[in-house]
Amino acid sequence: MYVSKNLDVNSDGHLTIGGMDTVKLAEEYGTPLYVVDEELVREHCRSFRSSIDNYYGGKGLACYASKAFSCKAMYRIMKEEGMGIDVVSGGELYTALKADFPMEKVCFHGNNKTNDELKLALESKVGRIIVDNISELERLDRLAGEMGITADIMFRIKPGIDAHTHDFVKTGQIDSKFGFALETGEAMEAVKAAVKCENVKLTGLHCHIGSQIFDIDPFVCAAEVMLKLISSIKKELGLEIKELNLGGGFGIKYTEKDNPTPYDSYMKTVSEKVKQVCAEENISLPFIYIEPGRSVIAPAGITLYTVGAVKNIPDIRTYVSVDGGMCDNPRYALYKSEYEIVAANRAAEPRTEIITVAGKCCESGDLIGEGMAIQPVGPGDIMAVLATGAYNYSMSSNYNRIPKPAVVMVRNGESRVVVKRETLDDIIRNDLD
Ligand code: LLP
């Protein structure tokens, strides 16, 4: 009935998430409110893990890309579900450390890591540092040397695949700020440089071809390109690369128009290709990492708002303003991302109105969406925006000095706050008199 399967309508005609009444959650915790169905998050983790077990003999690790939604509770859940994580800043790494996440299961990314971030990663003994460029390689080699340790690294490679075109294209992605280019020989030169470094060990290669991708073909193509590079490295340098990180990017259903591929078929198809290419190229099967972010958390989350002003501009549109906006969900302003909405306290009624959802920021572009179908709503109604678990809280801001909403997790008929609502005092906490 809705884009996410954890949502339903109860006998009061209220929207439920993971069996919990969203109107009651809004009453108890206030709005705007992010609500996450913990059980669904765990289910997603298990399906990624079991797909690796079923199709690749368990020779891999699913690392949750925590840029999608990062907080201590989330890292604890990932730990309990046996996942690895991808972190991309000192802040994400520090949060994971404070949540006692096992550091050997951490992949540390970033195209411009600072020395402080690299030192924190080395001190914390993160599993893999994904090196993006030559200057990072040199700095890391020096820092690891100073600390008397060897850092296990992977190289981020641009495999030359643009997955965001209607028919994905296989060249022309040299123009990216991330990683070493393949076509120019830059990647092979970097591998040669790594071999000469005394304090780093190149264990693997990484690629990430984009986000919200529905098609399996670009993933399969990326895997093939990467394995061929592993094969050339073996032939040219006699170096065996034992790990392949294929990144994330698996699409999810935001609206009825979206038709994502089940993870199982992704892993099945990619595994078959990996086995085939390894046999052809006479290289051993690599340990595989995948880095799903959005697909782990987006469908499990919703945002609840209280409706305020409604402005009907005849023959033009109806603006329905809510008590949040681009400060808690900048994705429409940034990408024109589409969402499904529901009047949580009128969820049993038909969605007969077409509205523009506006936020409360002082900015005309502060919209959550346009042309959205919803039940008739007025001031005081609760509006739910669906599938907001990924890249909403993590990309939120304090624009207009609006405090960030709380995040509540629900599971087994209970709810708990995992991130507190910011107060006005939080807003001024770093201001000096
Ligand atoms: N691995 C790497 C190296 C990445 O850069 C990303 C996402 C992922 C994994 C996870 O990708 P996912 O499975 O979540 O698609 N802010 C944008 C999305 C940016 C994604 C950046 N990298 C949005 O709101 O749509």
Q: Is the CB of 156 under 6 A from ligand 1?
A: no
With a 6 Å cutoff on the Cβ, whether 109 touches ligand 1 is yes
User: What are the two backbone dihedrals, phi and then psi, of residue 343, each rounded to the nearest 5 degrees?
Assistant: -80, 105
Same domain, yes or no, for 332 and 269? Answer: no
Asked if the structure places residue 77 within a domain, the reply is no
291 lines ligand 1 (CB under 6 A): yes
- What span, in angstroms and rounded, lies between the C-alpha atoms of 309 and 314? 16
What's the pLDDT band for 162 if we cut at 50, 70, 90? confident
* Contact present, 393 and 406 (Cβ < 8 Å): no
Whether 152 has a pLDDT exceeding 80, the answer reads yes
Hey, which residues are catalytic here? 362
**How crowded is residue 64: how many other Cβ atoms within 10 Å of its Cβ?**
31
Whether residue 87 lies inside any domain: the answer is: no
Distances (CA, A) of 217 to 7, 99, 251: 31, 37, 13
Of 44, 64, 67, 335, best ligand 1 pocket probe by most atoms within 8 Å of the beta carbon: 67
Distance 293 CA to ligand 1 centre (A): 6
Q: Whose CA is nearest to atom 6 of ligand 1?
A: 248
Confidence band, pLDDT 50/70/90 cuts, at residue 1: confident
Taking the centre of ligand 1 as the mean of its atom positions, its distance from the CA of residue 190, in whole angstroms, is: 24
Do 218 and 329 belong together in one domain? no
Written as six digits, the tokens of 195 are 């071999």
Closest approach atom of ligand 1 to CA 247 = 1
Residue 46 lies in a domain: no
Domain closes at, from 246, 272, 292:
292
Q: Could you list the residue range(s) of the whole structural domain that residue 174 is in?
A: 109-292
Question: What is the per-residue pLDDT across 221-278, written as a single tens digit (0 to 9) for each?
Answer: 999 999 999 999 999 999 999 999 999 999 999 999 999 988 889 999 999 999 999 9
Longest C-alpha distance within the chain, in Å?
72
Q: What's the structural domain count of the chain?
A: 2
Same domain, 194 and 257: yes
**Tens digits of residue pLDDT in 91-144:** 999 999 999 999 999 999 999 999 999 999 999 999 999 999 999 999 999 999
pLDDT at 171: 55
Are 157 and 263 members of one domain?
A: yes
Closest to 227 measured CA to CA, from 184, 270, 263, 195: 270
> 14-18, 169-173, 317-321, 427-431: lowest mean pLDDT where?
169-173
Domain presence at residue 259: yes
Per the omega criterion (within 30 degrees of 0), is the bond before 32 cis?
Answer: yes
Ligand 1 atom with the smallest distance to the CA of 331 is 24
Q: Please compute the mean of the pLDDT values over residues 402-430 and round it to a whole number.
A: 98
Task: For ligand 1, pick from 45, 85, 263, 294 the residue to mutate: most ligand atoms within 8 Å of CB.
Answer: 294
% pLDDT > 70, the chain:
98
**Does residue 247's CB lie within 6 angstroms of at least one atom of ligand 1?**
yes
Please give the Cα distance from 222 to 416 (Å, whole number).
Answer: 41
**Considering only CA atoms, which residue is closest to atom 24 of ligand 1?**
391
Residues 180 and 310 in one domain: no
Mean pLDDT of the chain: 96
Q: Are residues 132 and 204 in the same domain?
A: yes
Ligand 1 mean position, distance from CA 247 (Å): 9
Look at residues 103, 64, 132 and name the one whose alpha carbon lies nearest to residue 297.
Answer: 64
Q: What is the pLDDT of residue 404?
A: 98
Distance CA 246, CA 261 (A): 16
Q: Which of 259, 277, 292 is the last residue of a domain?
A: 292
